[in-house]
Structure 1
Amino acid sequence: MKLSSFITRHMEDILVEWESFARTLQPAGSEMSALALRNHARQILHAIALDMDTVETPSQQYQKSKGLAPVAVGAETAASTHGALRHLSGFSLTQLAAEFRALRATVLRLWLPQVKALSEDRTRDMVRFNENIDQALAEAVATYSQKASRTRDTFLAILGHDLRSPLATLAMAGEYLARAETGNEQTAAVGIRVRRSAATMNTMINDLLEFARSQLGSGIPVSPQAGDLGQVCRWAVEDIGAAHPDCRFEIETQGNLECRFDAARVQQLLSNLLNNAVQYGSNGLPVLLQVAAGDSEIVMRVRNHGSPIAAESLAAIFDPMFQLAATPDQRDRPRTSLGLGLFIAREITLAHGGRIHASSDAYTGTEFIVILPRR
Structure 2
Amino acid sequence: MKLSDFINTHIEQIIKQWESIARTLGAPANQISTIALRDHIKQILKDVASDIVSTQSPHQQTEKLKGTPESNVEDGSAACTHGVLRQLSGFSLAQLTAEYRALRAIVLRLWLPQIQQVSEETTYDMVRFNEAIDQALTESVTTFSDQETRTRDTFLAILGHDLRSPLATMAMAGDSLIRQGEATDGVRRIGARVVRSAATMNAMVNDLLEYARTQLGGKMPIVMRQVDVKEVCQTALDDASAAHPECEFVLEASGELEDQFDSDRLLQVFSNLMNNAAQYCAEGHPVTIVALGEPDAITVKVKNLGPVIPSSSLQVIFTPLTQLSVEGQVHTRPSTSLGLGLFIARQITEAHGGTISVVSDEVSGTVFTVRLPRVKASQ
Fold shared by both chains (TM-score > 0.5): yes
The change in CA–CA distance for 1:282 and 1:312 in structure 2 (over 3 A counts) is same
**Residue 142 (str. 1) matches residue 142 (str. 2):** yes
Indicate if the aligned counterparts of 2:257 and 2:293 stay in contact, CA closer than 8 A: yes
- State the one-letter code of the partner of 1:223: V
The change in CA–CA distance for 1:254 and 1:183 in structure 2 (over 3 A counts) is closer
Instruction: Give unmatched runs, 5+ long, in structure 1.
Output: none
Measured in 2, the distance between the counterparts of 1:154 and 1:69 equals 25
The change in CA–CA distance for 1:277 and 1:69 in structure 2 (over 3 A counts) is closer
Aligned-pair CA distance for 1:180: 4.4
Indicate if the aligned counterparts of 2:69 and 2:139 stay in contact, CA closer than 8 A: no
Alignment partner, residue 241 of structure 1: 241
Map Cα deviations across residues 97-141 of structure 1 (whole Å, 9 max, x no partner).
111122112211211122222222221111111111111111111
Indicate if the aligned counterparts of 1:29 and 1:37 stay in contact, CA closer than 8 A: yes
Alignment partner, residue 217 of structure 2: 217
The change in CA–CA distance for 1:12 and 1:312 in structure 2 (over 3 A counts) is same
CA RMSD of aligned residues (A): 1.7
The ranges of structure 1 where at least 4 consecutive aligned residues each deviate by more than 6 angstroms after the TM superposition are none
Measured in 1, the distance between the counterparts of 2:73 and 2:33 equals 32
DSSP-derived class of the 1:195 partner? helix
Indicate if the aligned counterparts of 1:65 and 1:132 stay in contact, CA closer than 8 A: no
Alignment partner, residue 349 of structure 1: 349
Map residues 71-82 of structure 1 onto 2, 5 A cutoff: 71=71, 74-82=74-82
TM-score for the superposition, normalised by structure 1:
0.95
- State the one-letter code of the partner of 2:282: S
Measured in 2, the distance between the counterparts of 1:289 and 1:65 equals 51
**Residue 330 (str. 1) matches residue 356 (str. 2):** no
Aligned-pair CA distance for 1:333: 2.4
Measured in 1, the distance between the counterparts of 2:332 and 2:133 equals 52
Measured in 2, the distance between the counterparts of 1:272 and 1:19 equals 52
Residues 136-145 or 63-72, more deviating: 63-72
Indicate if the aligned counterparts of 2:70 and 2:139 stay in contact, CA closer than 8 A: no
Indicate if the aligned counterparts of 2:310 and 2:325 stay in contact, CA closer than 8 A: no
Indicate if the aligned counterparts of 2:71 and 2:139 stay in contact, CA closer than 8 A: no
Aligned-pair CA distance for 1:70: 3.3
Measured in 2, the distance between the counterparts of 1:73 and 1:158 equals 25
Alignment partner, residue 130 of structure 1: 130
How many residues get paired? Answer: 374
Measured in 1, the distance between the counterparts of 2:57 and 2:269 equals 51
Percent identity over the alignment is 53
Map Cα deviations across residues 55-95 of structure 1 (whole Å, 9 max, x no partner).
11111112123232533793131001101111111110111
DSSP-derived class of the 1:316 partner? coil
- State the one-letter code of the partner of 1:132: A
Aligned-pair CA distance for 1:369: 1.4
Measured in 2, the distance between the counterparts of 1:182 and 1:138 equals 67
Indicate if the aligned counterparts of 1:280 and 1:331 stay in contact, CA closer than 8 A: no
Residues 219-228 or 25-34, more deviating: 219-228
Indicate if the aligned counterparts of 2:322 and 2:340 stay in contact, CA closer than 8 A: yes
Measured in 2, the distance between the counterparts of 1:21 and 1:296 equals 67
- State the one-letter code of the partner of 1:85: L
DSSP-derived class of the 2:91 partner? coil
- State the one-letter code of the partner of 2:26: Q
Aligned-pair CA distance for 1:21: 1.8
Alignment partner, residue 100 of structure 2: 100
Measured in 2, the distance between the counterparts of 1:372 and 1:132 equals 50
Aligned-pair CA distance for 1:293: 2.7
Map Cα deviations across residues 13-49 of structure 1 (whole Å, 9 max, x no partner).
1101221121111111111111111120000011111
DSSP-derived class of the 2:74 partner? coil
Alignment partner, residue 168 of structure 1: 168
DSSP-derived class of the 2:201 partner? helix
Aligned-pair CA distance for 1:324: 2.3
Indicate if the aligned counterparts of 1:303 and 1:366 stay in contact, CA closer than 8 A: yes
Indicate if the aligned counterparts of 2:21 and 2:102 stay in contact, CA closer than 8 A: yes
TM-score for the superposition, normalised by structure 2:
0.94
